[in-house]
Every structure is written in structure tokens, then in C-alpha cells.
Amino acid sequence: MTSALHGLLAGLSLIIAIGSQNVFVLRQGIRREHVLPVVAVCIVSDAVLITAGASGLGALVRAVPELVAIARWAGVAFLLGYAVLAARRALRGGESLQADGAGQGSGLGAVVATALALTWLNPHVYLDTVLLLGSLASTHGAQAGQFAAGAVVGSTLWFVALGFGARSLGRVLSSARAWRVLDGVVAVMMVGVAGALAMG
């Protein structure tokens, strides 16, 4: 359960970070436009990538035990780097979300294609899920599967909440200040996960 909880927190800390995919899901949720297919694409894609990362890197680490320390400190550095970026966005402010942006009234095929492109053509998704979460999972040894399961649960909770809860929060989330607060929370979460990883 501890590994699963760590996976949940690590997954959330990375997935919540504001990016093009999350903004797209949020916009679709605010408009109530093809929300279920978009959320499903994001959840399934993350599950595949997280599982692949945990399985592949887990096997590699078992073959080369010295990689555990490398994976741990690389994960710490990566998390702290993301925390710095999130903190910078929180201090400087980011873009506000407008409900009348591009893509309104798009067909199902176009919306799903956009969701797939924002997920699979984004290099950051591979850094976050396959490399970083895979590396973090490998440090949990035999509980790597539990860590990956926790990360998948975190991804599922986030995208369901983001997509289906966006409409009721649309007015609040349309302000730049709300995004700054969210980025601040993300920065704190990342520092916390990095600290836990550094302490083993």
C-alpha cells in the first residue's frame, strides 16, 4: 500500500502540471463536448505508458542493481526541476482559460484525434510516464507493480475530475490567478515527492 500511495502521489504531481493536454481536457469539460472519449483516451494512454515504463525499467534495474541509485537521484533532480518550473509559473502567472477558444463545436473524430496527438506526440509524456515514473517504480523493487497501479489510479482520478468537474469550475478556472494557485500546489507536491524519494 505504501508503494501504491507513492505511485498515486507521484502520478498526480506530474499529471496535474499544467500543459497542453490538460488544458484541452479542461476546455472540453467546460464545453461538455465529447468529454468521455477525451478522458478515456488520456486514461488508457497513461496506463499503457506507465505500465510499459514500470515493466521495462524494472527488469533493467533487476539486472543492474547499481541503477537503483541512479534512478533515484535522476528522479529527484527531475522532480525538483519540474517544481522550479511550476513555481516560476505560479510567481509569474500563466494564461487564463477562455471557454470560447478554438475547437468549439468540433466533431468526435477531430476531438479524439487532437487528444491522441496531444498525448502521444508530446515528448514530455514519455519523460513523465515511461522514464520518470518508470524509474521511480524501479526503486520500489518487488512493489513496482503497486507503484505503477497507484500512478494509474492517480491519472484516472485526475482526468475524470478534470473532464467532468470542469463545467462546474469553469468560472473559477477561467482566471489566471486560479492557474497560479494550482501551479503553486503542483510545485509543493513535487518537492514533497522528491524529498521522499531522496530519503529512500
**Chain segment 22-32, per-residue pLDDT in tens:** 878 887 887 78
Residue the block writes with cell 487528444: 115
Total domains, the chain: 1
Contacts of 135 (CB under 8 A, 6+ apart): 53, 57, 71, 72, 74, 75
Minimal CA–CA distance to 46: which of 194, 154, 144? 154
Minimal CA–CA distance to 150: which of 200, 193, 86, 198? 193
Indicate the residue type of 85. L
Residue 59: predicted pLDDT: 61
Structural domain boundaries, residue 35: 2-198
Q: Is residue 31 within a helix (H) or strand (E), and if so which, with residue range?
A: helix 20-31
pLDDT string in tens for the chain (200-residue length): 577 877 777 777 777 765 678 878 887 887 788 999 999 999 999 999 888 888 875 566 556 767 667 767 877 787 788 788 878 888 887 555 554 444 445 789 999 998 998 888 776 677 778 777 877 887 787 888 888 899 899 999 999 998 998 877 767 766 778 778 877 887 887 788 778 778 86
Q: Rounded to an integer, what distance in angstroms lies between the CA atom of residue 32 and that of residue 30? A: 6
Q: Rounded to an integer, what distance in angstroms lies between the CA atom of residue 190 and that of residue 33? A: 31
Indicate the residue type of 178. A
Residue 67: predicted pLDDT: 67
Q: At what angle do helices 144-173 and 2-15 cross, to 10 degrees?
A: 40
**SS3 for 128-161, per residue?**
HHHHHHHHHHHCCHHHHHHHHHHHHHHHHHHHHH
